Structure 1
Amino acid sequence: MRCQPYSTRQVYIWLKNKQSCLLCDESTDALFAICAGCETDLPWLRDHCERCALPMPMSGLTCGQCRRQPPLFSEVVVPWRYDFPIDSLITRFKHEGKWPMGRLLAELLGEALQHRFAEGLPRPDCLLPVPLASKRLRKRGYNQAEMLARWLGKQLDLLSDDRLLLRVLDTASQQGLDAKARQINLRKAFALAVGAQIKGRHVAVVDDVLTTGATVDAVTRLLIEAGARRVDVYCLARTPKPQD
């Protein structure tokens, strides 16, 4: 008795499966779980600093901080401002375990990266998620940056390595700290795994939100000192300056 369907027969047409938009709950036949209207209304990051992606009043500018002290990373790719509803989606993914929302954001970020690659942005050799402090990882049960990197790697056919970067100090939460306090908080917080091969490689650091840049600065410095040829940053959202 044959229990399996014939391999030549079409069992299910995934691309014709209607799904619900995760924002408005309306039915949509879009590729991702978001309708065209909601996707258009997302707080897309248009004009920003050419180095750190800080929101700016017009394109083609470099912010004062990057002029005074240029960051070590080469480029930041980030689709959105940290504003509604992106802030809510990230919070629910990050703190409430709403993984479908994180998966949706990763897919849209992956689509944005595919466009950038087509325009000439160099493809990295691998994706490196920012590691989570062990105490926070035990409490939360997952690392949102690691999940984003894994989803992006599959979509973009890139290696995602979550064992190369280590969080060796269980520092206090970065939320609520200013830029200087964040830098102090992250001193010697990261390390490379024993035998990590970094020299000459182009790597992209993956995180959820870029605020002051202290975390990615610390990670980038570590990678550059280990011989990385280029370090880019991929994240979901960019916050404005606190006074803005």
Structure 2
Amino acid sequence: MHCQPWLKALVYKCTKSNQACLLCDAPTDQPYPLCTCCELELPWLDEQCRICALPLPMRDLTCGQCRRRRPAFKRVEALWHYGFPVDALITRFKHNRQWPLGRLLSELQGNGLEHRFEQGLPRPDRLLPVPMACGRLRQRGFNQAAMLARWLSAQLRIPCDEQLLQRPRETPAQQVLGAKARQRNLREAFELAHGEPLDGLHLALVDDVMTTGATAQALASLLRQAGARRVDVYCLARTAKPDKA
């Protein structure tokens, strides 16, 4: 059974028609349903670790964790802090099936990535959504990372491969675990679906929120071991450390 929504019918028409801002209901003349005032007040992530995008007090710094042990991924690209109202928008998209909100966030993310590409960020060869275990996929009905990857693929004109990464083992939800427990939880949780060579490829993982980076680290390590030259991470939002939230 195909669990994913019919994106063009349910989302595209809603976000491409003239309508009010999805946050304040004010009229907007922008090409997406967000007024300029609300867009300016989003929790934009400016000061961050230049590797994992962890929010920091200043720009162009590297966080202590990345200095101690460089992650398997090269760089994380995130637009926002995981704070209001972005956290509420992601929750409504992810748990309440309000797909137009996810489409809006994805379009803004795509605009940000296009700007970064123009500044010199290398374009990846392929987008890979973070996989979801079959049981959780049946329960939720869709994989939000796969939806984001499809939208980004169409906007950025970068191929999306939803089959390469798989999560065959059911594990507890990452949200309820601490940092060390998250790492243990993901051991051998992922695998490559087919034996296609990845030698020399630049790949980008797509997800909604990055918290500890355990999922990104596990997947990037798997891809690097399979021959990928570089792995980046594209996510909507990055959380701060628990004591810095």
Give the equivalent residue in structure 1 for 2:224.
224
Give distance in 1, aligned partners of 2:168 and 2:238: 26
SS of the aligned residue for 1:158 comes to coil
Deviations 1:136-176 (A, max 9, x none): 10011000000000000000001011001000211110012
SS of the aligned residue for 2:242 comes to coil
Give the equivalent residue in structure 2 for 1:146.
146
Give distance in 1, aligned partners of 2:187 and 2:198: 21
Give the equivalent residue in structure 2 for 1:19.
19
Map of 1:224-243 to 2, 5 A cutoff?
224-243=224-243
Give distance in 2, aligned partners of 1:44 and 1:234: 15
SS of the aligned residue for 1:233 comes to strand
Q: CA deviation at 1:17?
A: 5.3
Give distance in 2, aligned partners of 1:179 and 1:194: 30
Indicate how the Cα distance of structure 1 residues 209 and 155 shifts in structure 2: closer, same or farther if over 3 A, else same. same
Give distance in 1, aligned partners of 2:134 and 2:216: 18
The structure whose residues are more often helix, as a share, is: 2
Give the equivalent residue in structure 1 for 2:58.
58
Map of 1:78-227 to 2, 5 A cutoff?
78-227=78-227
SS of the aligned residue for 2:187 comes to coil
Percent pairwise identity? 61
Deviations 1:106-160 (A, max 9, x none): 0000000000000010000000000011111001100000000000000000101
Supply the AA of the counterpart residue of 1:116: R
Indicate how the Cα distance of structure 1 residues 196 and 59 shifts in structure 2: closer, same or farther if over 3 A, else same. same
Q: CA deviation at 1:200?
A: 1.1
Map of 1:32-71 to 2, 5 A cutoff?
32-71=32-71
Give distance in 1, aligned partners of 2:101 and 2:160: 20
Give distance in 2, aligned partners of 1:20 and 1:148: 22
SS of the aligned residue for 1:168 comes to coil
Deviations 1:54-82 (A, max 9, x none): 00000111111011111111111100000
Supply the AA of the counterpart residue of 1:107: E
Unaligned stretches of 5+ residues in structure 2 = 1-15
Decide whether the 8 Å contact of 1:110 with 1:155 is kept in 2.
yes
Decide whether the 8 Å contact of 2:197 with 2:227 is kept in 1.
no
SS of the aligned residue for 1:80 comes to strand
4+ residue runs of structure 1 moved beyond 4 angstroms?
none
Unaligned stretches of 5+ residues in structure 1 = 1-15
Decide whether the 8 Å contact of 1:17 with 1:29 is kept in 2.
no
Q: Aligned residue pairs: how many?
A: 230
Give distance in 1, aligned partners of 2:105 and 2:17: 20
Deviations 1:194-243 (A, max 9, x none): 22331210000000000000000000000000000100000000000011
SS of the aligned residue for 1:131 comes to coil
TM-score by length of structure 1 reads 0.92
Give distance in 2, aligned partners of 1:67 and 1:59: 15
Supply the AA of the counterpart residue of 1:219: L
TM-score by length of structure 2 reads 0.92
